[in-house]
A and B are shown apart, each in its own frame.
Chain A
């Protein structure tokens, strides 16, 4: 069979491959945001965390030669960003959304500042598992070249879904997210729980950033994220704060993001760039479709400032 001649079949295949490749950062950021929002806070700063994580991972990988050390560095940087957000939001009169926006700009700016020397050198990639090796069609192989982080993300989604209802930590998180008063009556300190939840959320967003710079697209540039951290926040609302929903929604967004390049690759030369806007349009449509002027969202954590 002619390896390049699979024709229009290339589009769904490229979308599938793209969904797997592009969705991974969405998965991590949205799972992290799901944890944070379930605790009753919203962290819009994950966009900045994502960019800084990408830079930190790339820089450490360049300097040490190990992508895994880069990944750990990104997670640690994300943890610090998250803890900072969680700490500052416990003060009276501090608005989590405003702090998030400040952190988004701060994280990106800091990443650009420290990242300048790393735009040129190349870092080792995170390993991928060639699940498509059974096929001799290059497109199939390319589509099914699955990064370990995708598999970890998928496992994490299932784990979180289970943990939200079957572990003490999961129940405590939901209690705090739904009612600060109830949490206090139980002797829990909501600020502490939210601090930890925001910290973990930040660490996961950092890992999402590491994937961007160390696997796909696989280099550090200043335009690396293009708003994925923000879209992930929208995605959590779309997924109704359910980790499995986050995973599915991330795949959907990833697939939408792959639409443009896929059409381009099969020779569509007119208007394909419109499809590059697909994820953004999807975000808008979802936000409009799932909102209502007269009621708050079903399943929303009661303490969340945007749904109160």
Chain B
């Protein structure tokens, strides 16, 4: 069964009519952050209270719902994770933050049954000290350019009808019915979009390579194996707008002539797996996926493959190996997947964000899209911003936005060790995860795009931004990333397998006080060799965090090696906690707070730390009000 375009347009009209008959709409953020902050309870409470108040509510939009009082939707991640759970009331454009189940009654009474605003639930901007009513007034949102994420935060993630209400699948229909494969490739090339997965290769050109392959069987793969620690953009897109991803895949399939597609999702994202699967079933039932799509005689089917926990599978050849049921090890390129890919057939592998952006580009026109961003990097990019900032969350900005705009204006500034906003506490931002590098204060005004970041030894990567304040030890961070890449190295090529192991052990030496100045030289040399000689991007980029921290924080490495000390007190072998007998008043706070019971002592008597039990977490140091705990 297939649906033709006229039927799709009619369905959209019906949804438009139904939707515009509602007086109000409530959108709850259904992202992981908000849900574990009590969002699921808020949702249930809404349904209960609305029923008690005798309001007729639709939870799953369909045309029979016309004339009901309001609609309620659980959307994908709205990005403002710090302030969850989030509740938006439309058409009034009110955004309530930190909503708990107990607040629901009041919201229904004030903002749904009437048009009031509850002041206490509005976001208070700590800078201007003003209450912000909606997204237009909140600096976190106002400074963003949300093209892709707009849909994610506005529609019910599991509702196909809401996607269609927003023009869903009309671009796929256009691609299938009106455009030739060549035209689609040209259009996407002209938009200037470059792959959002890390490499930054032109999406249109990539498609064109596969299009020109004279083979019958071709595949399109959506790479949702978002393994970078600190990145959750793809997860949010798959959870919040699964149909957008599917539509992008349909257009890509048209462009290269593929009839089969695979969405590869990492297993750590169970909700994304569930939503993608559900979206496929819905799209098949409606008839936009399957045989004879839009009556064109062309077929396209999609299946979901769950990853099994291997970071290297984000690399395209390793990903294909695992889809084929092999160990996920990369292959040398060429041949590129566009010639010889999955099961030997020409294959295009695009990242989730890239694919979900395709329908957006087609809807706005490629020349319009090209105007956003910078000359060599068109469009917007989503970033997951985390670490020591006021507003952690998911953001989208045009390429060319500076680091300071992102950290200070959007994320609300750096959080210092006392939990206060203080940009002076900024130490570094890690961009691009374990493949990327650290940027420092000197790059504070750097505009972010593919080339600018490359020039300073970092990369856009998939878009994780981890902000670190001055309590972070950069050697320890480099060690942390090295441990990650070393664990995840598949072991196929020697430079990566052995090189990362040796680099890791040198970093350990530095952190344990066993290094000499020569260790630093060897580490740097080895890092450069691993970059040059590794087979795939995992190895080629693995030394980046080490080399960039060595360059930018040389004095910190020197302190570890020459002075045998960790300036911020994180490297446990270089520090010890002791209680100063003359200052301790025996208040027992440290003993009670110690997570491993390493502190003993009676009330009003001097306490003592058992060094064998101590895990050097520093809790005693932090909780002592009398400065009686010494770190040294």
- Genuine A/B complex: no
